[in-house]
A = this chain, B = another copy of it.
Amino acid sequence: MNRTLAALAALSLVSVSTVAQGQAPSLESQADAALKGDTHAWDFVEGITTEVGPRQAGTEAEARARAWATAWLTAKGFANVADEPFMMDTWVPGDIARARVTAPFAQDLVVLPLGDSAATAAGGIEGEVVFFRTVDDLRAAPAGSLKGKIAYISHQMRPAQDGSHYGFAGPVRWVGAGIAASKGAVATVIKSVGTDHHRNPHTGGTSFPEGVAPIPAGALSLPDAENLERMFDRAGGRPITLKLELNPRQIGQTQSGNVVGEIVGSNPSLPPVLLACHIDSWWNAPGAFDDGAGCAIIAAAALNVARSGQPLRTIRVLMAGAEEVGLHGSVAYSKAHIDEAIAVGLESDFGADRIWRFDSNFLEANPALHRRIAASVARFGVSTSREAAGGGADLNIVRDQKGALIDLQQDGTRYFDLHHTPDDTLDKIDIAQLRQNVAVWTQVVGILADESTSIQTGGPIPSAPAIMQRQ
């Protein structure tokens, strides 16, 4: 534990579970107070970005982040704090990432590798670039037509409040390299899947189909991608050649882990409320928005609920490891805990801008609770809808149990300006919007944690998880 956390521990002498019900402020006033002046969330996200920074899964940096979070949760008075380890295959980006147009115009382009990219030969590879305006155009290219070529794949992603353009443009990154490789391409570069105009590429995972050998796969920053496209306009049909050098590599199995902690309920035999986020980030991203803020919000909400009196149910925070690189933490957590019923799962993993909508997957099965929660957060500017909540990436356990899920939808307009880039830094967090998140989470989690009937149905609490009952 470092000095900062020791100091925090000293401040936490009054454990979070010791506030007696009678003396405590109401849940509503606690949520209102969070809106005005929550300090827990900022302390977490400022701390982890300042003292740790980028923390790629399976590396020593993520291990430091897990130790930091474990110490923070302990210092804040969480119970049953643990770092539950698991093993995973780990890819690292290397330290060379260069791209240069060599003809007909000479210019360096800013590039970073995508997760699971292969390396180029030392010194780089050079090839003619074939321009695809969309991933569908790439899909339509004839078999073998990219032999010896470098595929460049573009898109027209735009900012969207609900983030839905990630689904629109994301396949460029998710499957573009694999499709290009299957048609003979020696490498792929994509326009970063993002919405900003800074010279910082957006990385993220890519994948290759069974039987297709990985090829070098990079992301250009959006200004560089647009420059490359203008070169095609100005080249008048002359071939554009690119030299690309990347040296990522697979390093085999390494350890990651899931950090957990609890506010213990007065009836610990009831299924807990599970609040999830992820602790890892990509190597290039300090992870303020993705997902330091999410961990900050869920932990702050748990602490604020506890300050309004011990809840009926246990509130468990899950700061999952290795989300970015393939949801390994979510899978490992579900595997390890599938027999422990979860009452309801909620995740924060979409930045720190304001929550604007509450969705659940129990509107039809438990309409009274859905409406009560919706009414409770209206004062924070949060509406509701008939969309069924699907839960965040780290809630595999709840999906595997076919359990109750809530999505507290955040404004994602700025999210893909920062996602998976070096620009994902603390200064991007608007503390007023961060506090609105904490206030909404405090209100919602407080209601859920004091619910004595089944959240999913409004009926009696089932004696075992749904997944077990169905067996």
**A33 lies within 8 A of chain B by Cβ:** no
Taken together as a complex, chains A and B put the C-alpha atoms of A54 and B198 apart, in Å, by: 16
**A382 lies within 8 A of chain B by Cβ:** no
**A49 lies within 8 A of chain B by Cβ:** yes
Taken together as a complex, chains A and B put the C-alpha atoms of A286 and B425 apart, in Å, by: 24
Instruction: From known contacts A199-B200, A227-B49, infer whether A236 and B427 are also in contact, taking CB-CB under 8 Å.
Output: no
CB < 8 Å: which of B51, B107, B427 contacts A223?
Answer: B427
**Chain B, residue nearest A196 (CB):** B198
Taken together as a complex, chains A and B put the C-alpha atoms of A68 and B270 apart, in Å, by: 74
Q: Which residues of B contact A236 (CB under 8 A)?
A: 3-4, 7
Taken together as a complex, chains A and B put the C-alpha atoms of A226 and B50 apart, in Å, by: 9
B52 contacts A107, C-beta separation under 8 Å: yes
A105 contacts B422, C-beta separation under 8 Å: no
**A268 lies within 8 A of chain B by Cβ:** no
A234 contacts B197, C-beta separation under 8 Å: no
CB < 8 Å: which of B50, B110, B425 contacts A234?
Answer: B50
Taken together as a complex, chains A and B put the C-alpha atoms of A238 and B2 apart, in Å, by: 11
**Chain B, residue nearest A427 (CB):** B197
Instruction: From known contacts A197-B425, A200-B199, A425-B197, infer whether A53 and B108 are also in contact, taking CB-CB under 8 Å.
Output: yes
Q: Which residues of B contact A46 (CB under 8 A)?
A: 230
Taken together as a complex, chains A and B put the C-alpha atoms of A46 and B230 apart, in Å, by: 9
**A83 lies within 8 A of chain B by Cβ:** no
Taken together as a complex, chains A and B put the C-alpha atoms of A428 and B49 apart, in Å, by: 29
B425 contacts A223, C-beta separation under 8 Å: yes
Taken together as a complex, chains A and B put the C-alpha atoms of A53 and B199 apart, in Å, by: 13
Shortest A268–chain B CB gap in Å is 35
CB < 8 Å: which of B226, B422, B428 contacts A427?
Answer: B226
Taken together as a complex, chains A and B put the C-alpha atoms of A226 and B53 apart, in Å, by: 13
Instruction: From known contacts A50-B227, A50-B231, A234-B47, infer whether A199 and B423 are also in contact, taking CB-CB under 8 Å.
Output: yes
Top 3 nearest A-B pairs by Cβ distance? A199-B422, A223-B425, A53-B107
Sample of 12 A–B contacts (CB below 8 Å): A3-B238, A50-B234, A51-B231, A51-B234, A53-B108, A197-B423, A199-B422, A199-B423, A223-B423, A223-B427, A226-B426, A227-B425
